């Protein structure tokens, strides 16, 4: 601890980036995507590379080891260690130079692959080592692991595409590592670097025969150090290729020079179906002869799990025929699309030549489904890329475990290898999942084990030993893509022999004599089954928790809350920077604290007592969750289903129970209870907005930012003219008048009522027995007041259940309120009335689309504008309820609909009003939403269904955003003045 204190003090004095030594931060850096957990001394997030190198120097001087880290998605424990973790992903993520003509670029190691490729695309180039974690994997991490990606059959590995690297040795010496002649006459470096290079080349010459004999002859060999880069026959030798795959153990990378390729312009996929897994594996060696760029395996288990994941179900339904035991996705990507289509035809012919047919028995059942539509191709690619997380979505104690994850064998042996491997799994009482790179003989193989159980840990050890023996028998590589880390390093002697392992030690000693850089990887590794290094250590326990919501779908304490938290496998899909919504706070801050994974890790450590007593309700936990906007994107986009918004409710409830409520919590939570009174005295209630003094007082005492105007109360709140409106014979529908639209924006409810009655519907607006307006309890949940929310929902269910029992749809305008009935309601009540209400709850647009598709919607609509730009509410996106918004708007004649590709608007209920969260709120909005609104023409309609979204757009861009109901009402008004206007029919699905 003396070293840690001195290290922290010196780092804070010398580093302007984040210096993280608190227990919560250290806990967030204690894990990666492996099953290991090692608490580091501390973490540092340098702003510049000079700061990173100063951190290295200070740690070395203090006798503390250093581990560089990018996305933290390593499968084998490469990025966890007991020393100082240096996170390069937040700031050191730029392209330093680009040579378009020469097809090379130089980048900082923290740049994320997808971000790099987005910037390269405008130049017609890309970096093709397309790992499945491309949305969060950094180039530095990929170089450290010698990553391969799904298209290595065409493009090779990271090593094949690395031109040079700049790196600092453990002693701080900075040098360029690239191609060198054997006599080093072309090397301009310090004497000690020249001597190091000379020693390495001499080692390569001395051990050339041993390397030739001992290194596996497969492309997917990423184990050990790349000594073959040093042998004379490979001259000129590239010293960077020795650093590639070294897992941060030899030098600290500062720059990487990459080889670039032209972007793929045309693609065609053939999804080859097989009734027998063995036959699929045997066929791979033949399919590659058609020269595809990839042949990717998806097995029965992955298909079944994918069908249970909302974002993947439609993709699988479109691409999969029947009930295959496995499919091989064969990808062609030649410049000429006609060539790709010709190869697709050849693929079908080849499958026939191999004896497969749709009418055959199981052993030879199969055929090809051709996929030429780009959107479906992208969907299939996304599904395959999410393979790891899909496999980890099992809601049980046992999970597919990575340790024989990426062994590679020559293709002719693949079928026999996988068959024998399954026999090994069965022998030890388990089964495995298999998917990925069939074209390379490198499958991602994961037996299902519960590493909390000693017997399963022993089984893991036995399976590893037997599997690696098979790999050696087939002359394959025990590490084919994901590196060594702590999982495989101890097996190097079995795979390579004593002499080559001694050479590995010599290389490590020569580069890093004091063992400063990421020790315990590749050489001198711990036992892979040392449980003291596991995430679930032998003493791992979660005490009984009293929870408020239903977590019964999961195992463990807190009626399953433990299992829900432990679903996070650290693979980091939540760290993506574009596409979808998840995770808006991370996109704004790039802090590990503010990503779903970081929060889930903190929760797991807290409930298991590793962060001290009462950590769940602590100030540190509240700080961890502060920027979570409860957008629910993780619920939909995290393939393992980590629902942080729901988990946050539990934490807020625990916090409220132990610490009480702040004034802000009370003002937000109890809004539905006092809103009616505030409306009666609206001018008085709104004084705060007009008075700078009151704004400052509200900020000081209630934590509400003085920079925001609060929504204005109004005296003319919405009150339904009667409990029923519309023609008596019309189809019935219930209109849910939520608190926000009722109190603040009655125009939306008026518009919805007009649209529904104009469409011939009989609209019910029931009240509770007490006469008090109905409420979903959303504001109470946001303050952790679960019991009060339950009380509100009880009133609502009592009023709506009789209608739901008759099959009457329940329609709402505010997505967060209406979708509470499909989400939190079912976590608070399991009775039939609640289930019926949830089953019949529809957003306004979902209802209209359903009616239109059934041919029942007759709305005379007129032209209102040429164009509308639309921002989707996070909850609409999370529940697959946004597409109907686009469809309904396309009912309006002549209206061009453009969707803004945006994450959360950043307002998120009360979040955007917080004095401590205002800046983050604006940062989220400025990522894409507000710039897109500002860019739109003044005559363009801006459409947003969410109350919060509309307020954010008004505050940040000075534009009025409209609910879809108002757009339709405007369209009805225009139709009234033009008798020739068309009538709405079935909506376009474009």
The pLDDT tens digits for 237-248 are 999 999 999 999
Give the chain's end-to-end CA distance (angstroms, integer).
61
Burial class (CB in 10 A: 0-12, 13-18, 19+), 981: middle
Radius of gyration, alpha carbons of the chain: 30
Strands (E), 76-173: 84-87, 95-99, 104-107, 125-126, 162-168
Q: Per-residue pLDDT for 386 more than 80?
A: no
Short-list 323, 330, 322, 313, CA closest to 370: 330
Which residue in 774, 777, 782 sits closest to 810, CA to CA?
774
29: tokens are 């850096």
| Helix H or strand E segment including 705 | none
Cβ–Cβ < 8 Å for 19, 50: no
- Helix or strand (DSSP H, E) at 943: strand 941-944
Under 8 Å between Cβ of 489 and 247: no
pLDDT in the model for residue 445: 87
Inform me whether the pLDDT recorded for 1 exceeds 50. no
Q: Which two tokens stand for residue 566?
A: 């432990």
Average pLDDT value for residue range 879-906: 96
pLDDT interval class at 419 (50, 70, 90): very high
Reduced 3-state DSSP string for 934-990: HHCCCCCEEEECCHHHHHHHHHHHCCCEECHHHHHHHHHHHHHCCCCCCECCCCCCC
* Nearest in space to 566 (alpha carbons), one of 655, 456, 640: 640
Q: Assess whether the previous peptide bond of 453 is cis (omega < 30° from 0).
A: no
Cα gap 354→341, rounded to integer Å: 20
The share of the chain scoring above pLDDT 70, in percent, equals 98
pLDDT above 70: residue 254: yes
Closest by Cα among 376, 415, 160 to 283: 415
Q: Reply yes or no on whether the pLDDT at 981 is more than 50.
A: no
Confidence of residue 984 (pLDDT cuts 50, 70, 90): low
* Residues 510-563 pLDDT 10s: 999 999 999 999 999 999 999 999 999 999 999 989 999 999 999 999 999 999
Q: Indicate if the alpha-carbon torsion angle 373, 376, 380, 386 is positive or negative.
A: positive
Distance from C-alpha of 562 to C-alpha of 567, rounded to nearest angstrom: 9
Mean pLDDT of the 198-221 span: 94
Is residue 986 over pLDDT 80? Answer: no
> What pTM does this model have?
0.93
pLDDT, residue 980, reads 42
The conformation of residue 444, written as its DSSP 8-state character, comes to E
Please write the tens of the pLDDT for every residue from 646-685.
Answer: 999 999 999 999 999 999 999 999 999 999 999 999 999 9
As a whole number of angstroms, the distance between CA 581 and CA 924 comes to: 11
Question: At 941, which helix (H) or strand (E)?
Answer: strand 941-944
Of 208, 213, 200, the residue nearest 243 (C-alpha): 200
287 CB contacts (<8 Å, ≥6 apart)? 272, 295, 328, 330, 347, 350, 439
Structure tokens at 698: 């509200």
Calculate mean pLDDT across residues 126-153: 94
User: Which of 371-380, 432-441, 890-899 has the weakest average pLDDT?
Assistant: 432-441
Per the listing, tokens 């900075």 go with: 174
pLDDT 10s digits, 293-326: 999 999 898 888 888 877 788 899 999 999 999 9
Give the per-residue pLDDT at 384. 76
Query: Could you count the other beta carbons within 10 Å of the beta carbon of residue 90?
Result: 16
What does the pLDDT look like over 338-358, one tens digit per residue?
999 999 999 999 999 999 999
Place of tokens 């807190």: 558
CA-CA distance, 646 to 659, in Å (whole number)?
20
Q: Which residues contact 85 (CB under 8 A, 6 or more apart)?
A: 29, 40, 42, 43, 44, 67, 68, 69, 79
């Amino acid at each position: 601890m003396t070293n840690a204190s001195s290290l922290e003090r010196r780092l804070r004095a010398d580093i302007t980036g984040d210096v993280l030594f608190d227990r919560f931060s250290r806990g967030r850096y204690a894990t990666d995507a492996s099953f290991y957990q090692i608490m580091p001394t501390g973490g540092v997030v340098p702003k510049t590379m000079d700061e990173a190198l100063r951190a290295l120097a200070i740690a070395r001087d203090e006798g503390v080891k250093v581990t560089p880290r990018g996305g933290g998605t390593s499968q084998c424990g490469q990025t966890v260690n007991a020393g100082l973790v240096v996170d390069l992903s937040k700031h050191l993520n730029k392209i330093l130079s680009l040579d378009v003509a020469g097809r090379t670029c130089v980048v900082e190691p923290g740049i994320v692959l997808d971000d790099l490729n987005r910037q390269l695309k405008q130049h017609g180039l890309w970096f093709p080592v397309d790992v499945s974690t491309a949305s969060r994997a950094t180039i530095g991490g990929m170089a450290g692991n010698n990553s391969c990606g799904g298209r290595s059959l065409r493009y090779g590995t990271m090593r094949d595409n690395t031109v040079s690297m700049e790196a600092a040795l453990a002693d701080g010496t900075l040098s360029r590592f690239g191609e060198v002649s054997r006599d080093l006459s072309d090397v301009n470096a310090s004497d000690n670097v020249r001597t190091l290079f000379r020693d390495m080349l001499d080692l390569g010459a001395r051990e050339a025969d041993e390397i030739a004999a001992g290194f596996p002859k497969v492309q997917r060999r990423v184990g050990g150090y790349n000594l073959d880069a040093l042998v004379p026959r490979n001259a000129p030798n590239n010293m960077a290729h020795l650093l590639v795959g070294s897992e941060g153990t030899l030098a600290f990378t500062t720059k990487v020079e990459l080889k670039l390729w032209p972007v793929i312009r045309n693609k065609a996929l053939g999804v080859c179906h097989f009734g027998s897994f063995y036959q699929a594996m045997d066929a791979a060696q033949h399919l590659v002869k058609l020269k595809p760029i990839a042949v990717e395996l998806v097995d029965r288990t992955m298909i079944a799990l994918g069908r249970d994941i909302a974002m993947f179900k439609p993709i699988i339904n479109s691409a999969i025929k029947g009930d295959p035991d496995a499919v091989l996705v064969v990808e062609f990507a030649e410049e000429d699309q006609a060539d790709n289509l010709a190869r697709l035809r050849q693929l079908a012919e080849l499958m026939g030549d191999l004896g497969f047919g749709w009418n055959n028995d199981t052993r030879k059942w199969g055929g090809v489904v051709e996929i030429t539509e780009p959107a479906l191709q992208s969907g299939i690619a996304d599904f395959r890329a999410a393979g790891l997380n899909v496999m980890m979505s099992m809601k049980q104690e046992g999970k597919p475990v990575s340790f024989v994850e990426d062994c590679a064998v020559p293709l002719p042996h693949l079928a026999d290898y996988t068959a024998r491997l399954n026999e090994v799994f069965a022998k030890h009482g388990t089964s495995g999942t298999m998917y990925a790179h069939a074209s390379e003989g490198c499958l991602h193989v994961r037996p299902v084990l519960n590493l909390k159980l000693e017997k399963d840990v022993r089984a893991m050890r036995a399976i590893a030993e037997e599997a690696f023996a098979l790999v050696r028998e087939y002359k394959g590589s025990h590490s084919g893509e994901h590196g060594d880390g702590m999982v495989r390093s101890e097996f190097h002697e079995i795979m390579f022999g004593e002499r080559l392992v001694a050479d590995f030690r010599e290389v490590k000693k020569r580069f890093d004599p004091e063992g400063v850089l990421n020790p315990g990887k590749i050489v001198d590794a711990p036992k892979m089954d040392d449980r003291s290094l596991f995430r679930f250590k032998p003493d791992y326990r979660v005490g009984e928790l009293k929870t408020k919501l239903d977590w019964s779908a999961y195992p463990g304490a807190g009626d399953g809350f433990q299992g829900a938290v432990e679903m996070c496998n650290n693979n980091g899909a939540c760290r993506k920077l574009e596409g979808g919504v998840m995770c808006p706070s991370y996109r704004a801050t790039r802090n590990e604290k503010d990503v779903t994974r970081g929060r889930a890790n903190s929760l797991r450590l807290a409930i298991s007592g590793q962060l001290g007593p009462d950590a769940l309700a602590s100030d540190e936990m509240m700080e961890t969750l502060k920027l979570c906007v409860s957008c629910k994107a993780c619920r939909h986009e995290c393939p393992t289903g980590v629902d942080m918004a729901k988990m946050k409710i539990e934490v807020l409830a625990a916090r409220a129970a132990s610490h009480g409520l702040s004034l802000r919590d009370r003002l937000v939570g109890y809004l539905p209870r006092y809103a009616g009174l505030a409306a009666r005295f609206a001018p008085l209630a709104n004084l705060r907005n007009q008075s700078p003094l009151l704004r400052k007082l509200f900020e000081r005492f209630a934590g509400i930012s003085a920079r925001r105007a609060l929504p204005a109360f109004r005296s003319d709140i919405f009150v339904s003219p009667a409990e029923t409106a519309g023609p008596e014979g019309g189809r019935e529908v219930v209109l849910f008048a939520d608190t926000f639209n009722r109190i603040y924006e009655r125009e939306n409810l008026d518009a919805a009522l007009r649209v529904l009655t104009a469409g011939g519907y009989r609209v019910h607006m029931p009240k509770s027995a007490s006469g008090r307006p109905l409420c979903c309890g959303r504001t109470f949940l946001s303050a952790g007041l679960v019991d009060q929310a339950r009380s509100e929902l009880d009133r609502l269910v009592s009023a709506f259940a009789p209608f739901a029992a008759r099959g009457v749809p329940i329609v709402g305008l505010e997505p967060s309120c209406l979708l509470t009935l499909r989400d939190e309601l079912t976590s608070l009540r399991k009775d039939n009335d609640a289930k019926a209400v949830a089953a019949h709850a529809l957003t306004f647009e979902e209802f209209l689309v359903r009616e239109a598709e059934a041919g029942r919607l007759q709305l005379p609509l007129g032209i209102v504008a040429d164009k509308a730009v639309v921002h989707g509410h996070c909850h609409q996106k999370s529940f697959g309820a946004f597409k109907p918004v686009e469809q309904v708007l396309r009912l309006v004649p002549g209206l061009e609909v453009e969707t803004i590709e945006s994450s959360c608007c950043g307002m998120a209920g009360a979040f955007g009003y917080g004095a401590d969260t205002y800046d983050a709120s604006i940062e989220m909005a400025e990522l894409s939403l507000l710039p897109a609104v500002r860019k739109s023409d003044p005559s363009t309609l801006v459409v947003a269904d969410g109350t919060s979204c509309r307020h954010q757009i008004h505050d940040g861009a000075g534009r009025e955003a409209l609910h879809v109901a108002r757009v339709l009402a405007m369209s009805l008004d225009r139709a009234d003045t033009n008798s020739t206007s068309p009538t709405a029919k079935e909506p376009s699905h474009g």
